[in-house]
Amino acid sequence: MSPGRVTGVVGHPVEHSLSPALHNAAYRALGLDWSYHAFDVAPGELAAAVAGAKALGLRGLSVTMPHKEEAAFLADRRSRAARRLAACNTLVFESSGTVAESTDGEGFLADLREGAGFEPEGRSCAVIGAGGVARAVILALSEAGAREILVVNRTPVNAFRAAAVARGRARVGRPAELQSTELVVQATPVGMTGVEAGRLPADPRHLGSGQLVVDLVYRPAETEFLAEAARNGARVRNGLGMLVRQAGLQVTLFTGSEAPLEEMWQAIGEKEDSPRKS
Ligand code: NAP
């Protein structure tokens, strides 16, 4: 067995993160004597935390709120997605320097294709929200060849900024336009356990058959939004598949091995639904 290495996630708060369970299960399944830990890093402390992690010989870090933008800035090199988004969710410490990567968009696309059986190329899509994850999804859908991407958000100026990551394919849309799209992605924290209940800029009663509705929230596994869309005949999927796949891509970046997705699903007490094509 190769010597053990340490990885982890930096965020604030981070104590409820599922990442340690996912990554440690992957290391066990791969037969690696590695460990992954949650590090609560307060705003303003990221640069010191990253310098310390490098000095201590960590292999890399997952990065979550509120550090995604600053982490990309601190890196020596950035992947194409990290550059386009000016944010990252992964730092890999190579001997040649720190590399910023973003696995959210790729994890989302992999789940859409392999988990939900939906190919976005040539399709009309919509994203509700304009935050970090919404932007990663907009960029990924654009690069996958989606015909158009409507961005619907509470604060219009943020919608314009988010649509700008995919100029030419993404535009700011009105809630009423969601009905005519084939894929609707809910990418705000509304509905998440521990988040104050809020109203989305879209009414799920207007979504229905012929549409795939993905809510990126994964806790709870079924939000009110998803339940209502399903009652109206939409095919639905929650955010667990993206969560597992973006973590799987990080496992590959850290270890160089293909991620054992089945064991990672088991580690969070879930199993993958079999996809239906749409
Ligand atoms: P974020 O940057 O804080 O995004 C906030 C976005 O949500 C903004 O567009 C904001 O609108 C909108 N919003 C917030 N509260 C709202 C409300 N009450 N009503 C309407 N819109 C509201 O967060 P993020 O990092 O993008 O993450 C968003 C969510 O995605 C997370 O909470 C989590 O549930 C989920 N997520 C899932 C995965 C996964 O792997 N499945 C990974 C990461 C995150 P304004 O512009 O108007 O402020």
CATH topology of domain 105-238: Rossmann fold (3.40.50)
208 lines ligand 1 (CB under 6 A): no
Work out the pLDDT band at 251, boundaries 50, 70, 90.
very high
Residue 27: per-residue pLDDT: 98
Produce one character per residue of 125-152: b if its CB has 16 or more CB atoms within 10 Å, e if not: bbbbbbebbbbbbbbbbbbbebebbbbb
Q: What is the pLDDT of residues 208-228, one digit of tens each?
A: 999 999 999 999 999 999 999
More confident residue, 275 or 139: 139
Angle at 25 between CA 21 and CA 30, to 5 degrees: 155
pLDDT digits 0-9 by tens, 115-168? 999 999 999 999 999 999 999 999 999 999 999 999 999 999 999 999 999 999
pLDDT band at 255 (very low <50, low <70, confident <90, very high): very high
Ligand 1 pocket check for 130: Cβ under 6 Å = yes
The H or E element spanning position 132 is helix 132-143
Distance between CA 70 and CA 46 in Å, rounded?
8
Indicate the pLDDT class of residue 275, thresholds 50, 70 and 90: low
Active site members = 68
At 172, the amino acid letter reads V
Output the pLDDT for position 2. 54
Residue pair 173/151 in contact by the 8 Å Cβ criterion: yes
Coil/strand/helix, residue 67: coil
* Ligand 1 atom index nearest CA of 154: 47
* 8 CB near ligand 1 (under 6 Å): no
3-class secondary structure, 63: strand
pLDDT band for 204, please (50, 70, 90 cuts): confident
Q: What is the pLDDT of residue 3?
A: 65
Please work out whether the CB of residue 131 comes within 6 Å of at least one atom of ligand 1.
Answer: yes
Q: Is 255 exposed, middle or buried (0-12, 13-18, 19+ CB in 10 A)?
A: buried
pLDDT at 34 over 90: yes
The finding on whether 268 has its CB within 6 A of some atom of ligand 1 is no
Q: What is the pLDDT of residue 258?
A: 98
Report how far ligand 1's centroid is from the alpha carbon of 189 (Å): 4
For residues 32-44, b (16+ Cβ closer than 10 Å) or e, as one string? Answer: bebebbbbebeee
Looking at domain 6-102+244-267, its CATH superfamily turns out to be Leucine Dehydrogenase, chain A, domain 1 (3.40.50.10860)
| Ligand 1 atom having least distance to the Cα of 219 | 34
Instruction: Name the nearest CA neighbour of 135 among 216, 203, 207.
Output: 216
Q: Give distance in angstroms: CA of 16 to centre of ligand 1.
A: 17
Is residue 1 predicted with pLDDT exceeding 50? no
Residues 41-49, mean pLDDT to the nearest whole number: 98
- pLDDT average, residue stretch 176-191: 94
Which ligand 1 atom minimizes the distance to the CA of 246? 40
Break the chain into its structural domains and give their ranges. Answer: 6-102+244-267, 105-238
For ligand 1, the distance from its centroid to the CA atom of residue 123, given in whole angstroms, is 24
Same fold: 6-102+244-267 with 105-238:
yes
Least-confidence region, from 74-83, 91-100, 147-156, 186-195: 186-195
Residues 55-73: pLDDT tens digits?
Answer: 999 999 999 999 999 999 9
